[in-house]
Amino acid sequence: MAKYLLLKHYRGAPKGVNDVPMDQWTPQEVEDHIRYMNDFAARLEGTGEYVDGQALSPEGTFVRFDGEGRPPVTDGPFAETKDLIAGWMIIDVESYDRALALAGELSAAPGAGGEPIHEWLELRPLMGTPPTVTE
Domain membership flag for residue 135? no
For the entire predicted model, the pTM comes to 0.76
> How far is it, in rounded angstroms, from Cα 7 to Cα 133?
32
Residues 58-91 pLDDT 10s: 777 777 777 788 777 666 655 555 556 778 899 9
Number of domains in the chain: 1
SS3 6: strand
Rounded CA separation 77/34 (Å): 31
Asked which of 30-34, 87-91, 95-99, 128-132 is least confident by mean pLDDT, the reply is 128-132
DSSP 116: B
Q: Is residue 65 part of a domain?
A: no
Provide the CATH number for the domain around residue 9: 3.30.70
Containing domain of residue 13, as a range?
A: 2-56+85-125
Q: Give the model's confidence band at 125: pLDDT under 50 very low, under 70 low, under 90 confident, else very high.
A: very high
Which residue in 23, 2, 4, 39 sits closest to 86, CA to CA? 23
- How confident is residue 126, by pLDDT bands cut at 50, 70 and 90? very high
Residue 72 included in any domain: no
| 14 domain residue, yes or no | yes
Which of 117, 101, 112 is closest to 13 using CA atoms?
117
**Is residue 63 a part of any domain in this protein?**
no
In a domain, 61, yes or no: no
Residue 33 placed within a domain: yes
Across 31-45, 74-88, 117-131, least confident range: 74-88
For residue 68, is it within any domain? no
